[in-house]
Each structure stands twice: as structure tokens, then as C-alpha cells.
Amino acid sequence: MASEPRDELLATPHLISGYRLEERIGQGAMGAVYRAHQVSLDRRVAIKVLLPHFARKPEVVRLFLREARILAKLVHPNIVMAYDSGAQGGIYYFAMEFVDGPTLAEIVQRGGAIEQRRAARLFLEAARALEHAHFHRLVHRDIKPANLMLTGSGTLKLCDLGFALVRTTLGEVDEGALGTPAYLSPEQARGEAAVDIRSDLYALGASFYHILSGRPPFAGGTAAEIMAKHCAEPLTPLRRARFDITPALSQVVDRLLEKDPSRRYASPALLVQAMQEIVQAFERGDLAMRMAEPAVSASRPTSRKTDPNAETVVEMDASDLPEIKDPAPARPTAPSTPRSVRPAPDSSRPPSSRRTSALRRLRRR
């Protein structure tokens, strides 16, 4: 069995002054991430180091250090915090908050779709992170479950801003279809320059479609095939991918995944407002029945009705339907009399009249 290649940084753990590298814990597009100890403050941190073959490319170095500067501006409880950055002996690095929990991608991979109440709270925290990024005119451009991490206490943290775009009043030219194909917005997939925060909202919707259903909204054999589906293929609504989903939660995700950006939420603040209402409804127990029971149950039939004004489908329990009483049993009707059989005597005539008629028939005979 071939041994793993030697990690030179771990072989000389004090190579970056002021830090002691302990373990390599991940790798992104441009750099490797290490768990480390910051000696001066006696705390655990994560250090991202630019990969050696990129360190010789000035443009990649610029993007790497730019990520550190962007992170330093974003001080928010749901965004990983930057501490320090620098270069030593040709090694470019920046230190940041160490998050000791898994990513949402790892949680779904291990256990499948996440329970709705918990997912709704994480969804709200992710929306708040995007709201803060939007305030600083930032577009992340690579929102995905692997970039949504959990702390040991269960708080969500948005990380990895390597593809982030800072929008200015003059605009900024996009480098093309950056991001991860499974969660890429149609406008990013087409390589459009004028992407904005609504592109991140689409990616967040795609991420939570995956988190709530156990699979991404679109799949394919190649990245090009997946991106083409984001651009042209109709979405399978979340309520069809997970039959017990709360209708309000499904509607939020489906709206985020509209192909036309103008049909999505216009800003993260509006998404935060919608998710706050859903989380509060879960806490009050208003959505408990929707969460606990499937949309179609053998013991409690459901009906579907369409609001012609809102054009939305409303799920109704049998208890919501008006009571329908069984009709009274109809009186049995006498069978029609065959033509060969004489009709029965008219019971409405008096008995004496009926006897006289009978005597007349006998006399004729």
C-alpha cells in the first residue's frame, strides 16, 4: 500500500511564526487547511495555506490574500472570523476561527435528509450570514453544504470565500462560471458578468433542497450537463422530493430556485423574514402536524385545492373538509308490470265496488 506524500508543513510545525501546526483537516480550491495552535493567545485556530504550485502565480496569490481581507471585514456570528494573514519563506497563509463540527454536506452524507425543524433553524442562520455579506456588497459565489459548517454548540458558520466577488459602483467583471455545478445559479452557469446576491440566494436554495431531500435539485453525468439543467430543466418541487415537507418551507426553497432572478427573493433580508416566521411557527407547534405526518396518509385522507388567485396548492387534512352527511335511504320502487299481466285492483276503490266488479266478470263467463 502506497504511503501518503509527506506534508512538509507538518514536518516542520513551527514554520509559520507564532503558530504550531497540528493536523491537516481539509483542502479547498487554492489551499490546504490545518488545525493549529496560536502560541501568543493560547487558542486553537484554523490556518489556510496556499498550495505550493499556486504560490508562484501572482494572480492566485492576489485572490488568496484577498479572501483573508474580505473575511476580516465580516464580523458576524454565522460567518467564520479571520484573525491574521501573512507570508513567510514563500508560504502564504491566513489564520481564522477554528470550527470544530462537521459540514452540512458531511451530515447529509452520513445520515440523509435533516429533520425539518433543525433544518429551518440552520436555514435562518445561513440567510442571516448572507444578509451580512450583502450589507458589505459581497457575493460569495460558492454557497454549498460543504461551505456551511457547524460549531460544537450547533451554530452554523459560512466559510470559504475564495470565489467571493465584491461589487462596487463601477461593477466588476466576473471570471466565468465559478462555483460548484450542483448548486450554481443559471446566470453563473451561463458565465454572466452581472451576478448579484440573488445568485447566492439560488445557491442557498439548492443547498437546502439537498439538505431537506437528501439529493441536489439537479443531477447529471458531467458538470456541463448539470449546469444545463439549472438553466433549462423544470425543477421538481421540493414537496415531491420529500412528501412530508412543511408547505411553507417547500415554497421558500422553490422560490429561491426560480430560474429568473427577478422571481426570487430580492434580498437576503426578505428571506430572513420568511424563515423567521417558519422557525417561530415550528417553536409554537403550528407546523408540528405537517412535520410529523406525511402529506398522504391511509388513516387521514387529504385533499388538494388550488387557490385561483394565488396559484398555489394548499394541502388539507380530512378534518379541514366540510362534513358530508350520508343521504337518507331511498324508498324501494315497485317493478314495472309486464304487459301480459293484468294490473292489480285499484286499492283506492271501496270494497263493495270491487266485489260488484268481480260478480260481473263471473256472470260473463
Angstrom distance (rounded) from CA 73 to CA 200: 19
Angstrom distance (rounded) from CA 38 to CA 20: 7
Catalytic residue among 142, 160, 174, 200: 142
Eight-class DSSP state of 183: G
Strands 302-307, 312-317: pairing is: antiparallel
pLDDT in tens, 301-343: 333 333 333 333 333 333 333 343 444 444 444 444 444 444 4
What is the predicted pLDDT for the residue at 31?
Answer: 85
Place of cell 509527506: 6
Show the DSSP H helices in the chain as ranges: 8-11, 58-73, 104-111, 116-135, 186-189, 197-213, 223-232, 238-241, 247-256, 268-284, 288-292, 351-364
Q: Give backbone dihedrals phi and psi of 284, rounded to 5 degrees, phi first.
A: -80, -15
Residues pairing with 48 in the sheet: 33, 94
User: Quick check: 180 and 140 in contact, CB under 8 A?
Assistant: no
What is the CA angle 251-127-247, rounded to 5?
Answer: 15
Topology of domain 16-97 in CATH is Phosphorylase Kinase; domain 1 (3.30.200)
Angstrom distance (rounded) from CA 199 to CA 197: 5
For the domain bounded by 104-291, which CATH number is listed? 1.10.510.10
Q: Does 142 participate in catalysis according to the annotation?
A: yes
Give pTM, 2 decimals.
0.74
What is the predicted pLDDT for the residue at 165?
Answer: 66
Q: Computed over its alpha carbons, how large is the radius of gyration of the chain?
A: 34
Residues 6+ apart with CB under 8 A from 354: 345
pLDDT in tens, 238-281: 999 999 999 999 999 999 999 999 999 999 999 999 999 999 99
Sign (positive/negative) of CA torsion 77, 156, 18, 69? negative
Residue ranges, the chain, pLDDT below 70: 1-6, 8, 10-13, 165-178, 287-365
- Domain positions in the chain are 16-97, 104-291
Closest CA to 81 of 66, 67, 96: 96
What is the predicted pLDDT for the residue at 116?
Answer: 95
Closest CA to 79 of 25, 139, 133: 133
What is the predicted pLDDT for the residue at 353?
Answer: 52
CA 83 → CA 32, 37, 236, 287, distances in Å? Answer: 17, 13, 42, 41
Residues 6+ apart with CB under 8 A from 227: 177, 181, 184, 189
What is the predicted pLDDT for the residue at 231?
Answer: 97
